[in-house]
């Protein structure tokens, strides 16, 4: 824990700023043009096959991302899995550099994991926790993470401390700062929840965590790939991400960022002899980098596919992706509201995940009916976000998520089809 003066200074800075200043920074970069979107859709095989508005579930990959996986699988089939891995070693190592460029991290701070939940759990369970210490979180916490909190209550005797929301529906950063004390083991925040477009003020939380010297774990599963992410700007110690959502990568891929400033304090819950060196029959030594979180076995094809998807996002530019996503989401919300739907999203500027209902329309039935007409959406239930759902008395919600490859024509057609149900 850092000095009281550092934390008090952070509290004063937060209390002296308006809620609008602590909210999400306005998007000021230029969205992708119609021609640019058309070009990106032309290299996405599924773009003309379906109106895909389920990017928060799993996005549509480009042909190049597919090819990266297929070519490696074919090489494995023709030469052997170990041999194909050796042949792809240089390309595999390059994926770390690609991820580093995406979020502002170094190679040594990145670990390859099989999905976002595995990455989050790897980071979460590595943080030292003692009985009676608190885990501070927020109403937007994801279900899998909340189960981890509850398991930590059972295993380690910690206390879950859920901070309330501000008037925008974001985590109340001033309240969070006031709750930080010597007994806090971890601040764990969901950046963008699964059940709506809220964007929590991750950097403001980072200011509090860093001033207090408290480890800070950010679940960026839904934000990496649709928002600009810089781990230094955010100030997180740990960040978990996935490939299959807004990065447009393969399923079964994910990653963990573990800052070099905290790595020596992090002890993986179940390392193997890739994440650690077995030095004598009775001793082992953890890798000095984030590699300590990795296992030896993984999908080489999936990892290479993820690398291609990340390279594509970096080439387009995450700030332009973010601007485009916000533009599409604003349009979708306006059209849904004009068609008589209730939109449930929180925050001063919600992102690309849109949740909506209509009293006479069952969300699951709507999903099925839309699928039959070539439109993909999903349904989010209270079981995924118990804190927020209980706080707002949420029903099942239609989740309609856009990306930079979504067109205005697709939004109009989807809303028209939905309104006709």
- Tell me the C-alpha distance between 42 and 32, whole Å: 15
How far is C-alpha 227 from the chain's CA centre? 10
Portions of the chain given CATH number 3.40.640.10 = 63-315
In tens, the pLDDT along 58-110 reads 999 999 999 999 999 999 999 999 999 999 999 999 999 999 999 999 999 99
Coil, strand, or helix at residue 131?
A: coil
In tens, the pLDDT along 47-66 reads 999 999 999 999 999 999 99
- Tell me the C-alpha distance between 30 and 9, whole Å: 36
In tens, the pLDDT along 133-142 reads 999 999 999 9
pLDDT of residue 21: 42
pLDDT of residue 27: 54
Portions of the chain given CATH number 3.90.1150.10 = 34-60+317-419
Provide the residue count of the chain. 421
Measured CA to CA in angstroms, residue 418 lies from 59, 272, 368 at distances of 21, 50, 11
Q: Domain 34-60+317-419 class? A: alpha beta
| Runs of H (alpha helix) within 184-238 | 202-212, 231-234
pLDDT of residue 80: 98
- Tell me the C-alpha distance between 328 and 407, whole Å: 8
Residue 4 has pLDDT above 80, yes or no: no
Percent of the chain at pLDDT > 70 equals: 93
Residue 3 has pLDDT above 60, yes or no: no
Q: Name the β-bridge partners of 96.
A: none
How far is C-alpha 13 from the chain's CA centre? 27
Tell me, which fold does domain 63-315 have in CATH? Answer: 3.40.640
Residue 22 has pLDDT above 60, yes or no: no
Confidence of residue 6 (pLDDT cuts 50, 70, 90): low
Nearest residue to 397 (alpha-carbon basis) of 421, 373, 371, 361: 361
- Tell me the C-alpha distance between 194 and 233, whole Å: 23
Q: What is the mean pLDDT of residues 392-405?
A: 98
Measured CA to CA in angstroms, residue 284 lies from 60, 66, 130, 276, 294 at distances of 42, 39, 24, 6, 15
């Amino acid at each position: 824990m850092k000095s009281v003066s550092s934390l008090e200074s952070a509290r004063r800075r937060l209390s002296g700023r308006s809620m609008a200043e602590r909210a999400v920074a306005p998007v000021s970069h230029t969205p992708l043009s119609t021609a640019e979107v058309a070009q990106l859709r032309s290299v996405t095989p599924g773009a003309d096959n379906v109106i895909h508005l389920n990017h928060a579930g799993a996005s549509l990959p480009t042909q190049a991302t597919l090819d990266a996986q297929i070519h490696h699988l074919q090489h494995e089939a023709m030469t052997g899995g170990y041999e194909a891995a050796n042949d792809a070693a240089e390309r595999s190592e390059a994926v770390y550099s690609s991820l580093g460029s995406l979020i502002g991290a170094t190679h040594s701070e990145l670990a390859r994991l099989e999905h976002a939940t595995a990455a989050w759990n790897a980071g979460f369970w590595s943080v030292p926790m003692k009985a009676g210490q608190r885990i501070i979180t927020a109403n937007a916490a994801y279900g899998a993470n909340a189960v981890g909190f509850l398991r930590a209550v059972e295993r380690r005797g910690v206390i879950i401390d859920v901070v309330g929301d501000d008037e925008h529906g974001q985590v109340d950063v001033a309240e969070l700062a006031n709750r930080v004390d010597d007994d806090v083991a971890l601040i764990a925040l969901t950046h963008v929840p699964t059940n709506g477009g809220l964007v929590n003020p991750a950097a403001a939380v980072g200011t509090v965590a860093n001033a207090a010297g408290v480890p800070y774990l950010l679940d960026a599963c839904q934000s990496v790939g649709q928002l600009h992410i810089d781990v230094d700007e955010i100030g997180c110690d740990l960040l978990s991400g996935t490939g299959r959502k807004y990065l447009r990568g393969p399923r079964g891929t994910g990653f963990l960022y573990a800052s070099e400033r905290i790595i020596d304090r992090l002890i993986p819950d179940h390392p193997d002899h890739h994440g650690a060196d077995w030095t004598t029959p009775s001793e082992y030594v953890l890798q000095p980098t984030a590699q300590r979180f990795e296992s030896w076995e993984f999908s080489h094809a999936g990892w290479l596919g993820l690398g291609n998807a990340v390279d594509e996002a970096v080439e387009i530019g995450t700030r332009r992706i973010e601007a485009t996503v916000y533009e599409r989401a604003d349009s979708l919300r306006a059209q849904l509201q004009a068609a008589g739907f209730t939109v449930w999203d929180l925050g001063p500027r919600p992102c690309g995940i849109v949740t909506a209902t209509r009293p006479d329309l069952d969300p699951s039935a709507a999903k099925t009916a839309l699928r039959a007409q070539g439109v993909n959406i999903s349904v989010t239930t209270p079981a995924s976000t118990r804190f927020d759902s209980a706080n707002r008395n949420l029903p099942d919600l239609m989740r309609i998520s856009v990306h930079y490859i979504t067109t205005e024509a697709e939004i109009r057609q989807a809303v028209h089809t939905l309104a006709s149900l």
